[in-house]
Amino acid sequence: MSYVEVPGAQVPIRMWTDPAAVEDVAMQQLRNVATLPWIKGLAVMPDVHYGKGATVGSVIAMRGAVCPAAVGVDIGCGMSAVKTSLTANDLPGDLSRLRSKIEQAIPVGRGMHDAPVDPGRLHGYPTAGWGDFWSRFDGVAEAVKFRQERATKQMGSLGSGNHFIEFCLDDTGAVWLMLHSGSRNIGKELAEFHMGQAQKLPHNQGLVDRDLAVFIADTPQMAAYRNDLFWAQEYAKHNRAVMMALFQDVVRKEFKKAKPTFEPVISCHHNYVAEEQYDGMDLLVTRKGAIRAGSGEYGIIPGSMGTGSYIVKGLGNAASFNSASHGAGRKMSRNAAKKRFSTRDLEDQTRGVECRKDSGVVDEIPGAYKPIEKVIDQQRDLVEVVAKLKQVVCVKG
């Protein structure tokens, strides 16, 4: 489908979904965003749903301003995937050992490594710039400085919620490795600190929603936020890269006889800010639950833990600010999912997938998410499908 335009106070709201299907609270959030004086465009992806502060599945283009809540608390959250030389024929009948080995190599939930991961000991990991990246931690907000040790030990760890690590097969039987994670606790604390700072500023006092407080260009507060934002986005990218290297090491050991090789890794943020130009204007484009889908750019759009995911290539649609959805998108809250579904439902909906099937992950049940095939179909003018993946192992945080 192409987009539908809904009137907004400052700009029209371009929606790649049926506006009638969007929950009322999410629609109100979008209307609130469209009242911001600095906004130059608002695009809404087919996986749109209500989010804290700002709507998940929204792309907000502003001139001379940025809204921390429109990035979200997991700065730099995103996906990585890599195709391997392995095929379905290389897999053992029982995949529980593989899941166990992945969980041993990569801490999940609130876990962290006993000692910081040394990238120099990871097979083929590009260590250039590693020292410079960590030295720049000295320049982040004083309020989070005491978290440095934790941040170093959490580098290369999964986190909780909807984060995951998967071992997948595509339609040809080729094996792919895929994972979803972000900037861990350090990104969350930086985000929350700056959201609080923004809400105190005088120019934000008359906004319809205080969560939409912004920083304005050429101010000390904006400079401080941009510094911490871009550092946290880099942390998230390193975090996924370290995990992918650890994941590949597990696969090398578990499939030693097959001598697996790996194609270049595809990686994309879906909670972040980028400096981009549209209609001759330099804009700050915030994607919260959206990936960049510039012409020819590869992206990853995951479904839920029992359905599947898509590797896509962007079509460069300027109307969406070169963006596409970041996943299937929730159709019900975590609490609603826990009330509606049981562990038996989870077992039924994840049949054939080696994964947790206990009450701790019922809120991630496939039934709590929108159908990924429909989400993909609604953005045929934003991306083209390169490969469809189906997980056979899923590690949840």
Q: Which residues are the active-site residues?
A: 326
| Cα–Cα dist 293/315, whole Å | 6
Cβ atoms of 267 and 356 closer than 8 Å: no
- Comparing CA positions, the residue from 389, 397, 330, 376 lying closest to residue 178 is 389
| Cα–Cα dist 56/40, whole Å | 19
| Cα–Cα dist 63/54, whole Å | 18
**Residue whose pair of structure tokens reads 């898509």 in the numeric block:** 310
Q: Are strands 309-314 and 164-170 parallel, antiparallel or unpaired?
A: unpaired
C-alpha dihedral sign at 228, 158, 74, 262 = positive
| Cα–Cα dist 62/263, whole Å | 36
Q: What are the distances in angstroms from CA 96 to CA 167, 250, 362?
A: 12, 13, 20
Looking at the DSSP bridge assignments, the partners of residue 181 are: 78
Q: Helix (H, G, I), strand (E, B), or coil: what is residue 292?
A: strand
Q: Helix (H, G, I), strand (E, B), or coil: what is residue 179?
A: strand
| Cα–Cα dist 289/44, whole Å | 10
Burial 345-359 (b: 16+ CB within 10 A, else e): bbeebbeebbbbbee
Looking at the DSSP bridge assignments, the partners of residue 314 are: 383
Q: Helix (H, G, I), strand (E, B), or coil: what is residue 244?
A: helix
